[in-house]
Every structure is written in structure tokens, then in C-alpha cells.
Amino acid sequence: MDEQLKQRIVGIMVITALAAIFIPMLFDEPISNADSYRYTLALPTQPSNTLQESIQSLPNSQQEVLSAKKPVSIQLTAMNTPAYNQDLPMKKWVMQVGSFATRKNAEEFQKRLRKQKFTAYIKPVQRNSRTLFQLLVGPELDYTRAKNEQQRLQTLFDTKTQLSSQ
């Protein structure tokens, strides 16, 4: 078969295939509006009663409790307590016990810490083109508890620790 004839036949087949794919797209209507989603954000409403109002509605004396015809109930949630602030991120406190050049040394010290009921883990860190293995204890959500754990660590193992938040 002639080379030019082969090229024409291949060209006709390609054009026919493209026409079969794209011509229906020009004349058909879209099947659905699947790609026109709308996202809405609904914020929760502010609680109607506050903690102070709930406390004031409680009876003040034993007589008021005994004379009440129905039980007094109060419903407290984290949303209406004054200490709760959803805009602030939760801090975690972690103590760095040491940085080790070899993982084996970090794992040995980690075993000693775990025997004393500390939550210890190893985190590899790149410093100046070499890997150091940080031995960390925590996380702790309360700063005073983290400080107490730091004191306990320093007295038990006679080592300096570094407390940081994450």
C-alpha cells in the first residue's frame, strides 16, 4: 500500500474519532448541575442563658429546696462557661530531655523514662546536614502540670530539660 494513502486513512480515522467525541458535546445540554455547588456556613446561635443566670435561678436555702414542687435542674455546657474560648488554640507543653547523635542512645534513655511512667518519644531532626534524635516527654495540656513533670524529671535523672509549647 502506498505510504501517502496510509497517512490519509489514519488522518481520516483520527478526525472521525474526534468528531464522534466533540460534536455531541456541542449539541447536548448538560446532564446535571453537579459542578455548580454552593457551600454555606451556618454558625451556631449564642446560648440563651449564661452560667450566671443559671446560678441565680438555684434555690438559696434548704427550705426553698424542700418547698419546690418540681426538681431543679441546670444544664451546663462548655459554651457558657467563662473559661471556654473557642477562638484560642489549645497549647501543648513538651519537655526536651536531650538530643542524641545516635538513635540507640535515645532509645535507651527513653526506656528509662518509660519505666518511671513518663510519656517519652523520639523525634528525628535535621541540623547542619546531620540527623539528631530529640527525646521529648509529653505533651501536657496544663502548664503547671508540665512544670511539675519538668521538676520531677530533673530531680530523678539529674538532667536539664527544656519546656516549650507547641
Which DSSP letter does residue 130 get? Answer: E
Phi and psi of 6, rounded to 5°?
-60, -45
Would you say residue 44 lies in a domain?
no
| pLDDT score for 81 | 47
Give the residue carrying C-alpha cell 472521525.
16
Identify the pLDDT of residue 78: 52
Domain of 111, in residue numbers: 93-165
Beta carbons within 10 angstroms of residue 137's beta carbon: 24
Smallest CA-to-CA distance from 160 within 92, 95, 100 is with 95
CATH number (domain holding residue 143) = 3.30.70.1070
Distances (CA, A) of 1 to 4, 7, 8, 9: 9, 11, 12, 11
Which ranges constitute the DSSP H helices of 39-142? 51-56, 62-67, 103-115
DSSP letter for 72, please: -
Query: End-to-end alpha-carbon separation of the chain, Å?
Result: 74
Q: Domain tally for the chain?
A: 2
Residue 20 within any structural domain of the chain? yes
Walk along the chain (166 residues) in steps of 10 and give the mean pLDDT of each run: 90 92 76 60 68 69 68 54 53 88 91 88 89 90 88 87 84
